[in-house]
Amino acid sequence: MRAFDYLRAQTEGEALAAAGQDGAAFIAGGTDLMPLWKAGVAAPGLLIDIGRLPLAEVTARDGGLVFGATARLADIADHPEVRRRHPAIAQAIEASASGQVRNMATLGGALLQRTRCVYFRSGITPCEKLEPGSGCAAVAGENRLHAIFGGGPSCVATHASDLAVALVALDAQVRLRSLAGERVLPLTALYLPAGESPARETVLVPGEMIVAVEVPDAGGRSLYLKIRDRASFEFAVVSVAVALEVADGRVQSVRLAAGGVGTMPWRLRASEAALTGAEAGEAVFRAAAGLAADGAQPLAHNGFKIELLKRTVLRALVQAGDQT
Amino acid sequence: MTDPSREPRALTLRVNGVDHSLAAEPCATLLDVLRDGLGLTGTKKGCDMGACGACTVLVDDRRINACLTLAAMQEGREIVTIEGLADGEDLHPMQQAFIAHDALQCGYCTPGQILSAVGLLAEGRAVDLAQVAEQMSGNLCRCGAHPNILAAIAEVAGLRA
**Concatenated DSSP letters for A13-55?**
HHHHHHTTSTTEEEESS-TTHHHHHHTTS---SEEEE-TTSS-
> How far is A211 from B22, CA to CA, in rounded Å?
33
Comma-separated ranges of CATH 3.30.43.10 domains in chain A: 5-51
Give, as one character, the DSSP assignment of residue A113: P
Least confident of A29-33, A65-69, A307-311, B1-5: B1-5
Close Cβ partners of B156 (under 8 Å, ≥ 6 residues apart): B93, B94, B97, B117, B121
Confidence of residue A179 (pLDDT cuts 50, 70, 90): very high
Q: Check CB contact under 8 Å for B65 and A35.
A: no
* Alpha carbon of B110: minimum distance to chain A alpha carbons (Å): 16
Q: Which CATH architecture has domain B4-84?
A: Roll (3.10)
Q: What pLDDT is recorded for position A142? A: 97
* Domain B93-157 coded CATH 3.30.465.10: no
Q: Read off the pLDDT of residues A206-260 as tens digits, 9 standing for 90 and up.
A: 999 999 999 999 999 999 999 999 999 999 999 999 999 999 999 999 999 999 9
Q: What pLDDT is recorded for position A283? A: 97
Close Cβ partners of A122 (under 8 Å, ≥ 6 residues apart): A39
For A221-323, give the CATH class: alpha beta
SS (H, E, C) B38-100: CCCCCCCCCCCCCCCCCCEEEECCEEEEHHHCEHHHHCCCEEECHHHCCECCECCHHHHHHHH
Confidence of residue A300 (pLDDT cuts 50, 70, 90): very high
Provide, rounded to the nearest whole percent, the portion of chain A with pLDDT above 90.
98
Check whether A117 has a pLDDT greater than 60. yes
* Per-residue exposure over B68-100, b if at least 16 CB sit within 10 Å of its own CB, e if not: bbbbbbbeebebbbbbbbeeeeeebebbebbee
The dihedral formed by the CA atoms of A144, A150, A153 and A155, expressed in degrees to the nearest 10: -70
Task: Decide which of 3.30.429.10, 3.40.190.10, 3.30.110.60, 3.30.43.10 is the CATH code for A5-51.
Answer: 3.30.43.10
Q: Read off the pLDDT of residues A25-35 as tens digits, 9 standing for 90 and up.
A: 999 999 999 99
Q: Read off the pLDDT of residues A180-217 as tens digits, 9 standing for 90 and up.
A: 999 999 999 999 999 879 999 999 999 999 999 999 99
* Domain edges within chain B: 4-84, 93-157
Per-residue pLDDT of chain B (161 residues; tens, 9 = 90+): 456 667 899 999 999 999 999 999 999 999 999 999 999 999 999 999 999 999 999 999 999 999 999 999 999 999 999 999 999 999 999 999 999 999 999 999 999 999 999 999 999 999 999 999 999 999 999 999 999 999 999 999 999 86
Q: What is the mean pLDDT of residues A268-293?
A: 98
Before A126, cis peptide (omega within 30)? yes
Q: What pLDDT is recorded for position A171? A: 98
Q: Check CB contact under 8 Å for B26 and A5.
A: yes
Provide, rounded to the nearest whole percent, the portion of chain A with pLDDT above 70.
100
Q: What pLDDT is recorded for position B1? A: 44
Q: What pLDDT is recorded for position A196? A: 79
> B85 phi and psi, to 5 degrees?
-85, -40
Q: What pLDDT is recorded for position B3? A: 63
Beta strands in chain A (DSSP E): 5-8, 24-27, 46-49, 58-61, 64-68, 173-178, 181-186, 209-216, 221-228, 236-247, 250-259, 266-267
> How far is A288 from A271, CA to CA, in rounded Å?
5
> How far is B149 from B152, CA to CA, in rounded Å?
5
Q: What pLDDT is recorded for position A195? A: 84
Tell me the chain A residues in contact with residue B134 when contact means C-beta distances shorter than 8 Å: 231-232
Do A179 and A18 contact (CB within 8 A), yes or no?
no
Q: What pLDDT is recorded for position B35? A: 98
Q: Chain B: which residues have CB within 8 Å of chain A?
A: 3-6, 25-27, 29, 48-50, 53, 56, 62-65, 67-70, 72-73, 75, 116, 119-120, 123, 125, 133-139
Average pLDDT of chain A, as a whole number: 97
Q: What pLDDT is recorded for position A324? A: 76
Do A289 and A225 contact (CB within 8 A), yes or no?
no
Taken in order A65, A70, A71, A73, the sign of the CA dihedral is: positive
> How far is A264 from A105, CA to CA, in rounded Å?
19
Tell me the chain B residues in contact with residue A46 when contact means C-beta distances shorter than 8 Å: 5
Q: Check CB contact under 8 Å for A3 and B56.
A: no
C-alpha to C-alpha distances, A204 to A162, A173, A277, nearest whole angstrom: 20, 14, 37
Tell me the chain A residues in contact with residue B139 when contact means C-beta distances shorter than 8 Å: 98
Comma-separated ranges of CATH 3.30.390.50 domains in chain A: 221-323
Interface test with B, best of A32, A100, A122 (most B CBs within 10 A): A100
